[in-house]
Amino acid sequence: MEKTPITVAYGDGIGPEIMQATLDILQAGGAQLDIETIEIGEKVYLSGNSAGIAPEAWESLRRTKVFLKAPITTPQGGGFKSLNVTTRKVLGLFANVRPCVAYSPFVSTKHPAMDVVIVRENEEDLYAGIEHQQTQEVVQCLKLISRPGTEKIIRYAFEYARAYGRKKVTCFSKDNIMKQTDGLFHKVFDEVAAEYPELENEHWIVDIGAAKLADTPEVFDVIVMPNLYGDILSDVAAQIAGSVGLAGSANIGQEVAMFEAIHGSAPRRAGQNLANPSGLLLGSIMMLVHIGQNEAAERVHNAWLKTLEDGIHTYDIFDASVSTEKVGTREFAQA
């Protein structure tokens, strides 16, 4: 089997440890990868590049079109731009896909039947990043919703549901208040939903939808929503499923796709062999499926599940009632 070229960034904080663990596991699982490494994040920022990424790195990404990215640190102050947001924008990564699944009884959760995929619009909304100061005392930020952007994400959600055998797509928006912006999102949802008669569809106002999600997540399947709601509610969903440390995500563009953990770089835990590589590993499994290495994806996923089921847990999800062994990043990867 030919090796697929991918671009890898080791990131900051706990990034290098969990990336090493992840790559070791992928290799053991038979993934065929030809890895180009790029430098992004803290060092690049501090070298005076406010975007945190060098021109050569973009070239690698445009060449391989597949990016496995560890969490990075944006230095405080000094007008550094969030690299997460920059990458999404420059590469047109319009869909942020975040599966939030309970692994009960192996990871403790109050919502054992939960299996939700949040499909978050990833370029528009308040993340367009247009802010300005009107007077000394008044600042504003622009929320942007476009029809093409909305159509793209909603169609993606329905295509995803179809491809993965899901039954229902739910839309969250606040169109009782934002009649034009969130109203457009809802309207386009209804239009696109009509093209997928075999899938159930429903709409919730985001406040009460979020309440339902936090209380009885098992009633949801795929949920599509604008950027900021998706940011907040994917953290909620991942956490109540078990832990934000256990969720991976795919950022999908027309050409390039980026895979990552949803958690951050936890600088205080760096270098201590404490970190749980599961979020990045689950992101990398989504990557294997994306590049067509489904068998390796399944092997790695099964090995990961087996390790969880055997009760071999890193400290963050360690729970005396279900875990048998508390291990470090390296030992978890070996298992």
Ligand X SMILES: CC(C)[C@H](C(=O)O)[C@@H](O)C(=O)O
Nearer to its own copies, 56 or 215 (CB): 215
Query: Can residue 131 be called a binding residue for its own copies (CB under 8 A)?
Result: yes
Whats the size of the chain, residue-wise? 335
Among 1, 138, 163, 320, binds its own copies (CB under 8 A): 138
Structural contact between residues 262 and 275, judged by C-beta atoms closer than 8 angstroms: no
For ligand X, which residue has the nearest CB? 82
Q: Does 207 bind ligand X (CB under 6 A)?
A: yes
Residue closer to ligand X by CB (options 85, 90) is 85
User: What one-character DSSP code corresponds to residue 124?
Assistant: S
Give which of 206, 154, 222 is closest to 185, Cα–Cα. Answer: 154
161 scored as a contact of its own copies (CB under 8 A): no
Q: Which stretch binds ligand X (CB under 6 A): 8-16, 42-50, 80-88, 240-248?
A: 80-88
78 binds its own copies, rule: CB under 8 A: no
**Mode of pairing for the β-strands spanning 257-261 and 248-253:** antiparallel
Q: Which of 155, 166, 203, 212 binds its own copies (CB under 8 A)?
A: 212
Selected binder of its own copies within 46, 113, 142, 305 (CB under 8 A)? 142
In contact, 203 and 189? CB cutoff 8 Å: yes
| Residue written as token pair 């065929």 | 32
Among 4, 7, 64, 84, binds ligand X (CB under 6 A): 84
Per CB under 6 A, the list member of 20, 27, 49, 82 interacting with ligand X is: 82
114 contributes a contact to its own copies by CB under 8 A: no
Burial of 203 (0-12, 13-18, 19+ CB in 10 A): middle
**Stretch near ligand X under the rule CB under 6 A, chosen from 38-46, 78-86, 239-247, 323-331:** 78-86
Q: Is 177 in the site for ligand X (CB under 6 A)?
A: yes
- DSSP annotation string for 177-202: T-TTHHHHHHHHHHHHHTT-TTSEEE
Token duo for residue 264? 């951050």
For residues 320 and 230, give the distance between their C-alpha atoms in angstroms, rounded to a whole number.
33
* Contact positions with ligand X (CB under 6 A) in 245-304: 262
User: Closest approach of Cβ 279 to its own copies, in Å?
Assistant: 13
The CA distance from 249 to 118, in Å, is 10
- Between CA 256 and CA 62 the distance in angstroms is 7
Q: Does 178 bind ligand X (CB under 6 A)?
A: no
Which residues on neighbouring strands pair with residue 36, listed in sequence order? 7
- Contact residues for ligand X (CB under 6 A)? 82, 84-85, 176-177, 207, 231, 262
